[in-house]
Amino acid sequence: MHPSPAFRQTPNTAMLTFARDRAFGMLCVNGAEGPLAAYIPSDLAWNGSVAMVHLARSNPIAPAGLLLPALLAVSGPDDPAIST
């Protein structure tokens, strides 16, 4: 289910801070033959508009070009003792 922004309680700054602190997520891009995704370490710009990522040359996303529009999905927390 996609939550309506009208009901979202977390400000964008808090979400960006979480994503920067987590520094790991799934990078998704549209490749020539279809969608590509990979879990990667990342460093986000302060406003979330640019992500510096570490990608092996052998990763199928690398030849697709990282100047494409992309989605970086960050999830967490992983610790089951932490409740949200």
Single out the residue of 56, 55, 50, 47 nearest to residue 72, CA to CA. 50
Residue 80 lies in a domain: no
- Give how far Cα 56 sits from Cα of 7, 35, 38, 60, Å: 39, 18, 11, 9
Residue 67 lies in a domain: yes
Residue 1 lies in a domain: no
- Residue 25's pLDDT is 92
Residue 82 lies in a domain: no
Model pTM score: 0.71
DSSP string, 12-32: HHHHHHHHHHH-EEEEEEEET
User: SS3 for 58?
Assistant: coil
Residue 54 lies in a domain: yes
For residue range 16-62, what is the model confidence (pLDDT) as tens digits? 888 899 999 999 988 878 899 999 999 988 888 888 888 888 888 88
Amino acid (1-letter code) at residue 62: A
Residue 79 lies in a domain: no
Our measurement of the distance from residue 75's CA atom to the centroid of its chain's CA atoms, rounded to an integer in Å, reads: 8
Residue 83 lies in a domain: no
- Domain hosting residue 50, numbered range: 9-73
Number of domains in the chain: 1
Question: What number is the average pLDDT over the span 56-84?
Answer: 75
Residue 16 lies in a domain: yes
